[in-house]
Amino acid sequence: MSMVCLSDFEAYAKKYLPKIAWDYFAAGADDCTTRDENILAYKRIRFRPRMLRDVSVMDIRTKILGSEISFPVGIAPTGFHQLAWPDGEKSTARAARAMDTCYIASTYSTCTLEEISAAAPGGLHWFQLYIHRNRAASQQLVQRAEALGFQGLVLTADLPYTGKRRNDVRNGFRLPPHMKVKNLEGAFEVCKMSLLDPSVTWNDIYWLRSLTRLPIIIKGILTREDAELAVKHGVQGIIVSNHGGRQLDEGPATIDALVEVVEAVRGRVEVYVDGGIRKGSDVLKALALGAKCVFIGRPALWGLAYKGEEGLQDVLRILQDEFRLSMALAG
């Protein structure tokens, strides 16, 4: 099969992944309105292309929190990569390093932080954290990540409870017995996600800052009010995100929320966005509306399902080529 665009990888993954794994990755909350709107919102945005501009040389590199990446697309935190490919997050990390971009490793990885770090030494890795009732386990994870050379801490703010993903409920989703949530082994039963701490508030940013010197990026912001609070509490970055439409259904598409977040922060912190990016032109739209970088979630998993590390590199390379072409054609 000739893989020309990201939808080709999606079709492959849907056909060849076990149904329970596909349903888990594809799931949105409730009616999946927000999940689908993330994609549709990009389609409503139009370019105003400019002509006769010299586009013979283009530089698509950028920096996020001072680290240079080859183009403004990173890999968002998603869980359970071994459902897509046997090497799981190790392959994800290697692909990100090969393409010289950022990979945000999830708390709910099926490989340990140590395995991820060792698989791609020198790669740009951030660590995504859920705060659990077991604060000691969360503290240990943060300190392990920093000791291993992870360069950013991404706090997910939009999951005090898990959204209702209907197919997961119907399927009784659990990890297969041979897979483990490696970073939390022995801490508690994770798959039920019943020990997430719903009492987390903005004051917990100060707690995190007491634990680590890593820059803190907060993920899950959708309003100007929360963007202003994020800046007030001293974070270094914001990821505009609705968790891929997996949490509160009928919230805003992330590309729509991006505009008010960018206006609110007024350049005081870097702003990124995830959700719904399927083409290089989507990347250009997000940057034009103020994002410093975008992060992809499901497309990375489709690439893994297709051919592991090589498949994910293909996904990133297609986005890179499409982004460069869109820049040129838009002038």
pLDDT tens readout for residues 105-128: 999 999 999 999 999 999 999 999
* Residue corresponding to tokens 């929360």: 226
pLDDT(272) > 50: yes
Q: pLDDT value at position 195?
A: 81
Alpha carbon distance 15, 280 (integer Å):
24
Domain membership flag for residue 80: yes
Q: Is there a binding annotation on residue 275?
A: yes
Distances (CA, A) of 119 to 2, 88, 95, 105, 202: 28, 11, 10, 13, 34
Smallest CA-to-CA distance from 12 within 322, 323, 319, 298 is with 298
Q: What is the pTM of this model?
A: 0.97
Domain membership flag for residue 252: yes
Q: Is there a binding annotation on residue 186?
A: no
Q: Is there a binding annotation on residue 106?
A: yes
Higher pLDDT, 189 or 172: 172
Q: Is there a binding annotation on residue 44?
A: no
Average pLDDT, the chain: 96
pLDDT(191) > 50: no
Identity of residue 69:
I
Domain membership flag for residue 66: yes
Domain membership flag for residue 195: no
Domain membership flag for residue 11: yes
Q: How confident is the model at residue 4 (pLDDT cuts 50, 70, 90)?
A: very high
Q: Is there a binding annotation on residue 245?
A: no
Q: pLDDT value at position 185?
A: 83
Alpha carbon distance 153, 69 (integer Å):
18
**Are residues 92 and 103 in contact, defined by beta-carbon separation less than 8 angstroms?**
yes
pLDDT(239) > 50: yes
Q: Which residues pair with 312 in a beta bridge?
A: none
Q: One of 81, 125, 132, 243 is an active-site residue; which one?
A: 243
Q: What is the CATH number of the domain that holds 143?
A: 3.20.20.70
Spatial neighbors of 286 by CB under 8 A, at least 6 apart, are: 255, 258, 273, 277, 294
Structure tokens at 326: 């869109």
Range(s) of the domain holding residue 114? 6-44+59-188+200-326
Q: Is there a binding annotation on residue 267?
A: no
Summarised one tens digit per residue, pLDDT across range 126-146 is: 999 999 999 999 999 999 999
Domain membership flag for residue 52: no
Mean pLDDT computed over 273-280: 98
Provide the domain count of the chain: 1
Mean pLDDT computed over 63-71: 98
Q: pLDDT value at position 259?
A: 98
Q: How confident is the model at residue 187 (pLDDT cuts 50, 70, 90)?
A: low
Q: Is there a binding annotation on residue 165?
A: yes
Domain membership flag for residue 132: yes
Q: Is there a binding annotation on residue 81?
A: no
DSSP-based three-state secondary structure for 222: coil
- Sign of the CA dihedral with 292 first, then 284, 324, and 51 last: negative
Q: Is there a binding annotation on residue 67?
A: no
Domain membership flag for residue 311: yes
Burial of 238 (0-12, 13-18, 19+ CB in 10 A): buried
pLDDT(193) > 90: no
Q: pLDDT value at position 190?
A: 45
Q: What percent of the chain has pLDDT over 70?
A: 97
Q: Is there a binding annotation on residue 180?
A: no
Structure tokens at 145: 């990540």
pLDDT(188) > 70: no
Q: Is there a binding annotation on residue 94?
A: no
Angle at alpha carbon of residue 243, lines to 33 and 26, rounded to 5°: 60
| Range with the poorest average pLDDT among 68-77, 177-186, 242-251 | 177-186
Whether 243 is catalytic: yes
Spatial neighbors of 146 by CB under 8 A, at least 6 apart, are: 153, 212, 213, 214
